[in-house]
Homo-oligomer: A and B are copies of this chain.
């Protein structure tokens, strides 16, 4: 196995940013390859055959071995590079708690990203249409998820204990997109003060600033009404809405 891994990603993707920040925080040596989600590079069959049949990023290559799904990548990197124990847990119980969060995340908070996607990206891909139902659905999942986070953060400083872990990075980068796109605003923060404190604390980390640069710009462009040429179809648009003809 090589000592340097190759990281395929795009900075507008929340799960990509979570893994990228994990690697920066842990001084993991990696080469990066930005995948142009905007022109559908990842939707090409050759890309899917080579890397990931779903076309999704992030993807990690370690010599001939390829792994995708952000949480699987994080646990793999931890085994390979022996990260400081806070990131993926030192005991079986800690690892289980972090993994539990990561699966909850996929079913709950991650799906709330539909609020951002249908507010800001859907129009860039499919033009002006009535996306209000999808936006409302995303917002409902997001609101529900914020309630869980508030509950957990009222018991511990971080989501899985008193130290920052990969679970926090996963959750944090979902919220970064929502903040960049003004989906999460003062009303949410007032209702979820522990989440706000936690969000601010993580935002102060130098690597957060590095990783968040592009999505903050993209958010600002969309809030100014500028369209971004893209063909990107995230997993949020796959499956869930696949049968709604007007969203194809």
- Residues of B within 8 Å of A69, CB to CB, are 99-100, 103-104
- Residues of B within 8 Å of A107, CB to CB, are 106, 235, 239
In the bound assembly, the distance between CA atoms of A154 and B95 in angstroms comes to 33
Contact A76/B103 with A53-B148, A136-B243, A243-B140 known, Cβ cut-off 8 Å: no
Nearest-Cβ distance from residue A118 to partner chain B, whole angstroms: 12
For the complex formed by this chain, how many copies does it contain in all?
Answer: 2
- Residues of B within 8 Å of A239, CB to CB, are 107-108, 111, 137, 140-141, 144
Kindly report which residue of chain B lies nearest to residue A93, judged by CB atoms.
Answer: B65
In the bound assembly, the distance between CA atoms of A221 and B241 in angstroms comes to 31
- Residues of B within 8 Å of A238, CB to CB, are 144
Determine which of B53, B92, B241 lies in contact with A151 in the assembled complex, contact meaning CB atoms within 8 Å: B53
- Judge whether A86 is part of the interface by a CB distance below 8 angstroms: no
- Residues of B within 8 Å of A100, CB to CB, are 67-69, 72
Could you tell me how many residues of chain A have their Cβ less than 8 Å away from some Cβ of chain B? 45
Determine which of B95, B111, B151 lies in contact with A75 in the assembled complex, contact meaning CB atoms within 8 Å: B95
Residues of A within 8 A of B (CB): 53-54, 65, 67-73, 75-76, 79-80, 92-93, 95-97, 99-100, 102-104, 106-108, 111, 133, 136-137, 139-141, 144, 148, 151, 235, 238-244
- 28 A-B pairs within 8 Å (CB atoms) are namely A65-B93, A67-B96, A67-B97, A67-B100, A68-B100, A69-B100, A69-B104, A70-B103, A72-B96, A72-B97, A72-B100, A72-B102, A72-B103, A73-B96, A75-B99, A76-B96, A79-B96, A103-B103, A107-B235, A108-B239, A111-B240, A133-B244, A137-B240, A137-B243, A139-B243, A140-B242, A144-B238, A144-B239
